[in-house]
Amino acid sequence: MAYDQDLADRVRELIAAERGVEEKTMFGGLAFLINGNMSVAVSGKGGLMVRVPPEETPTLLTREHVTPMVMAGRETRGWLRVSAEGVKAKRQLQSWVGRGVDYAKRLPPK
């Protein structure tokens, strides 16, 4: 499944003012990097993948429309999947994109 172009455009609009933004196709989706660090990605499986502080993962998993990101059969702490329903409204998307971008900006540049 190809990633949602409309969702990618909505993410682009939200991060347009950020410095150091780069887009890369990865994992069947489109990742948005800040200074070389992934922040969010429009998933080829639908919805959004969001990078968060690993210690916040358990708390954020209690939210509606949020599931763990699983790669190679293992949960990836510090990454979440937010379903398309969870980013339908601009306010929802803005919150998740902001969270991912803020965390990526705190990481050392690559």
pLDDT digits (tens, 9 = 90+) for 27-56: 789 999 999 999 999 999 999 999 999 999
CATH class of segment(s) 5-106: alpha beta
**Beta-carbon count within 10 A of 91 CB:** 8
Domain ranges of the chain: 5-106
Three-state SS string across 38-94, please?
Answer: EEEEECCCCCEEEECCHHHHHHHCCCCCEEEEEECCEEEEEEEEECHHHHCCHHHHH
pTM of the shown model: 0.94
pLDDT value at residue 88 = 97
pLDDT exceeds 80 at position 1 = no
